[in-house]
Chains A and B, each alone.
Chain A
């Protein structure tokens, strides 16, 4: 994305969108698993942490989308960032719909 990056580095930067999605996904899962575990039981913190992580991920994704310039790899990077934004938002929707640490009741 920067003109100084090596071709390999640029190609890897094209994957930044899904990488941020992956970091967000595993972070929210980890936070939920730890905060809802019997050892911690910090139910009230789950939503705050989840929403915070989601805002962080979205800010990161929108930032890299904005700074990515036109070039051969933008063709891959931009749509990947857009898909990642959708996936991050989808992942975060449960935070506003489901009570913290509630059992699934399955």
Chain B
């Protein structure tokens, strides 16, 4: 009798906890759904937006092919054609490929890792809205004849103010720079999410392959994207203010753009491919009904690919006249990267061979991927050989190669993923019949389109020409290529029809595990994720722990309730995934959307030179970000029981804190940007040393940099002292923070004033521009430190900070130390290097 009552009481508790979770995680209703920040809703938005841009860019591709279907065609004017091919490449690469992958990560990672949400929901929402609003504005330039027309690579001097005087190039530079920033925000979210919110027991070697690839993807974004952001800043400064980074006549060099662009651009290919490889790894294992062969070796191959891909950028510059030795290094690295790629391929083939493959639509797309991507990889090895590249460069051979790589390596896996994971997020799975038709049309279409393009390239047809003379057999082959392109479009239309007919995205009760898969995203999911968060013992817990699903549903595992009464997730250790503390998550709010709107407005108004309104929008965006941050860093609530007798703190600071990790990753981004600057500085010196100051000039005014360095050291001392008095004296703490940020600002002001007083001007020479660019980059980080410093003082005065509750201050402290380090490096470079070489 007593046992029965206890069971009934337990059942009541479980039901009460479930209702509490539903109430806490309930999304906003009606149009307020736009203020949602939960990963599932933002993930749906993200995927929808990325697919929209895929369709739009695809339509542009069809227009290109319609123009090239017959010789001497006048369907599009030359200028319109230039805009269209530029936008096709740009939208596919920046608005579809990377965001689509990021979208899949934001949607699926929490469920796959056993988390309730990603650790920075508002940052994720901000990243999405910034991308979507910026992308829409950028795309709409086509309708006003304002789109860029210099190709997606935007090489100067073609894109300089002299040769592209309209504002299309400015839209590209500011728009893409802005969208890249949103991609970096998403990457920070993903890295911290993968490393810190995994289910207990899910050590790195048990982590799903998709999560591994998303981790490497995001890490690559951190190191690759800053190079192109710096390049866009430099070209925009040249166009708007005449700072001559790329002008040979003033000591600059246009090849610097290519170095920076491709330092981003080549890893970008792998940034797109690696998550697709993760999707394939997950799908192959399920479809072959067997664990992935050589799991650890695939992880090794993924990591190696990520590293080696940073040694390939000159692979795109073989015809620029660089020394043969330089070209050979990059040719060698291009060969080296084929080894880990081959390991992955053979592991997938071995998995398929060792299992019993179920030839459903996802498997068909995976097989299509293996075929198409292998051809793309082999032609990649061909163009990695310098003599061959000299022949094929800038011809349709390269266009064919890159489409085989990108469609095979990303689009096919993505469509496989749509068909595979739809039941996990939709009330109905997608249609098997329509999926097979779509696959058949797309597979045949891709090969009919791009295989003949290799031949066109070998025959010498250059890329980016808007028409061609009636030269046999160019005309016939081009017509075949166009027919193939429309066949791909029909295949995509079938998928779209399937989506409209069957895809019913849902926040509760999806169709579920129709494939009998082994990973956590197939647990029954609600908006808050699984009913309880299990402890994982293997890489395929649903296969190897048969009772797990029932135990999770019966709320027998961790966090079956909401002990703090708010949205929460378990923060675990980065390697072994042991519970460390309970993170309280942000709920819905308008500030991410509003901040994104004003950030987009800031960049776009800068483009059209409405500086005052742009500045106002920038200030509003920062204010809104501070508003949303005000609710973060909540008061510690002591220890909480997360179930099964595990008690963890409800607050953490220092290196254990997830916020600490995010700031460290941000510092890596800023550091990568600055290293790209150092590279640019040294590069310009190697090509035009005559523009550097004379020995006498370099040694003038030795006291000024010494004074600036002294102020930086004073700033470090003040911030360190502030850390010690935090919680003891609010006024002392505020004064020390104020001294710290003032010293940092003064060091920068002295540096800029010194350059100006010495007669150095940024528009006079590339050297001058580079010197002022160092100060500009320092200004960006110092401005952030000053704003956060004042914010920290406000929080301290409001009683929202003490010796224990100190995460916000730690953000300031880390950023200050970074700014001080960057400042000292800048002083050493700008003042020390000319002295050393003059």
Contact = CB atoms under 8 A, between A and B. Distances in A.
* A-B interaction: yes
B52 interface: no
Nearest to A34: B686
11 contacts: A11-B575, A18-B304, A22-B311, A34-B682, A37-B689, A80-B303, A87-B333, A93-B328, A98-B324, A105-B324, A106-B320
B575 A8 contact: yes
A79 interface: yes
Interface stretch (B294-302, B413-421, B764-772): B294-302
Given A76-B303, A79-B300, A25 B333 contact: yes
Contacts of B329: 25, 28-29, 32, 91, 94
Given A7-B576, A83-B339, A87-B336, A103 B323 contact: yes
B326 interface: yes
B308 A87 contact: yes
B333 A22 contact: no
A104 interface: yes
A106 B332 contact: no
Contacts of A22: 307, 310-311
A32 B303 contact: no
Contacts of B689: 37-39
B755 to A, nearest CB: 22
Contacts of B325: 32, 36, 46, 94-95, 98, 100-102
A68 interface: no
Interface in A42-69: 46
Contact of A86 (B297, B300, B339): B339
B386 interface: yes
Interface string B277-312: 000000000000000000011011001100110110
B695 interface: no
A46 B311 CA distance: 19
Contacts of B321: 103-104, 106
Contact of A10 (B310, B575, B682, B686): B575
A99 B325 CA distance: 8
Given A83-B304, A87-B308, A7 B685 contact: no
* Chain A interface, DSSP helix/strand/loop, else mixed: helix
A99 B324 CA distance: 8
B323 A79 contact: no
Q: Kindly name the residue among A25, A102, A103 whose own CB sees the greatest number of chain B CB atoms within 10 A.
A: A25
B704 to A, nearest CB: 26
Contacts of B297: 79
A90 B311 contact: no
Interface of B: 203-205, 296-297, 299-300, 303-304, 307-308, 310-311, 318-329, 332-333, 335-336, 339-340, 386, 390, 573-576, 682-683, 685-687, 689, 837
Given A15-B303, A80-B300, 9 more contacts: A19-B307, A32-B329, A39-B689, A76-B303, A80-B303, A90-B335, A91-B311, A102-B324, A106-B390
A93 B300 contact: no
Contact of A37 (B307, B333, B687): B687
Contacts of B335: 90
Contacts, number: 124
Nearest to B692: A39
Interface residues of A, number: 44
Nearest to A76: B300
Contacts of A102: 323-325
Nearest to B294: A79
Interface string A1-43: 0000001101100010011011001001100111011110000
A21 B575 contact: no
A25 B331 CA distance: 12
A93 B336 CA distance: 12
B686 A94 contact: no
Contacts of A91: 311, 329, 332-333, 336
Q: Kindly name the residue among A8, A91, A93, A99 whose own CB sees the greatest number of chain B CB atoms within 10 A.
A: A91
Given A7-B575, A11-B574, A18-B303, A83 B327 contact: no
B515 to A, nearest CB: 28
A33 B685 CA distance: 11
Contact of A21 (B307, B323, B687): B307
B258 to A, nearest CB: 13
Contacts of A84: 304
A32 B323 contact: yes
Given A22-B311, A87-B336, A11 B204 contact: yes
A103 B324 contact: yes
B328 A98 contact: yes
Contacts of A34: 682, 686
Contacts of A39: 685-686, 689, 837
Contacts of B336: 83, 86-87, 90-91
A32 B573 contact: no
A100 B328 CA distance: 12
Smallest CB-CB A-B distances: 3 pairs: A94-B328, A39-B689, A7-B575
Contacts of A106: 318-321, 390
Contact of A93 (B308, B323, B332, B685): B332
Contacts of A87: 308, 311, 332-333, 336, 339
Contacts of A94: 324-325, 328-329, 332
Nearest to A87: B336
Nearest to B297: A79
A33 B310 contact: no
A96 B683 CA distance: 26
A104 B307 contact: no
A103 B323 CA distance: 4
B266 to A, nearest CB: 13
Nearest to B576: A7
Contacts of B339: 83, 86-87
B144 to A, nearest CB: 39
